[in-house]
């Protein structure tokens, strides 16, 4: 790698090699080069390693579970291996804008008080959007107290893992995903995040 790893993209997958290829392509095309990508094959019954190897890039790191353990386990395994300052979590059916790392790392470097950033949700154009568009999508910034209320009441939660970039140091403070939860493990984790830290939609 040309420089120290700053972003660790963590991808847990179960089968779906064609979708995984698109996900990894979106990481490979990033304008920001100082990343690694940890792919955890969660017990797939189709070949996944050849998809990773085809990129011929040492920044892609492959690990395999012999049996399926579930999303929280694969995600946590990748997070614990991550060497970067920042974590990018992705499913194998998600892809990101080519300047995502560049824009979000710059913002987090300039705003050390912010623990995590997100993009506006949806399948439209990717990239930064003005504040009026955030309100149009009901994806505007709120106080920590308002975010906690939204999560507890499941009201208007416009953030998701794919658009997020967060500081790895958060794991030292609030822990990892709860592996006893088969659903909403990221929801519970983000709720814990907002109890102590600030997030920002760009």
Q: CA 190, 122, 124, 90: dihedral to nearest 10 degrees?
A: 50
How far apart (Å, rounded) are the C-alpha atoms in residues 164 and 160? 7
pLDDT tens for the chain, 202 residues: list them.
446 899 999 999 999 999 999 999 999 999 999 999 999 999 999 999 999 999 999 999 999 999 999 889 999 999 999 999 999 999 988 999 999 999 999 999 999 999 999 988 765 566 777 888 888 888 889 999 999 999 899 888 888 778 899 999 999 999 999 999 877 888 899 999 999 999 999 8
Give the strand order in the sheet containing 114-118: 60-65, 35-42, 7-13, 86-91, 165-167, 114-118, 198-201
Contacts of 77 (CB under 8 A, 6+ apart): 12, 40, 63, 65
The pLDDT, as a whole number, for residue 133 is: 82
Q: Is 201 helix (H, G, I), strand (E, B) or coil?
A: strand
């Amino acid at each position: 790698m040309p420089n120290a790893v700053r972003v660790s993209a963590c991808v847990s997958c179960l089968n779906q090699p064609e979708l995984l290829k698109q996900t990894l392509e979106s990481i490979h095309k990033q304008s920001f080069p100082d990343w690694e990508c940890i792919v955890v094959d969660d017990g797939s019954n189709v070949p996944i390693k050849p998809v990773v190897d085809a990129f011929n890039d040492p920044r892609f790191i492959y690990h395999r579970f012999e049996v399926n353990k579930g999303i929280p386990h694969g995600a946590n395994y990748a997070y614990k291996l991550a060497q970067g300052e920042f974590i990018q979590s992705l499913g194998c059916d998600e892809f990101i804008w080519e300047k995502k790392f560049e824009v979000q790392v710059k913002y987090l470097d300039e705003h050390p008080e912010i623990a995590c950033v997100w993009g506006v949700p949806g399948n439209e154009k990717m990239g930064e959007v003005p504040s009026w568009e955030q309100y149009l999508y009901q994806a505007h910034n709120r106080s920590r107290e308002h975010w906690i209320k939204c999560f507890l009441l499941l009201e208007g939660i416009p953030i998701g893992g794919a658009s997020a970039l967060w500081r790895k140091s958060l794991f030292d403070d609030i822990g990892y995903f709860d592996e006893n939860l088969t659903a909403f493990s990221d929801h519970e984790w983000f709720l814990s995040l907002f109890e102590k830290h600030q997030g920002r939609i760009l």
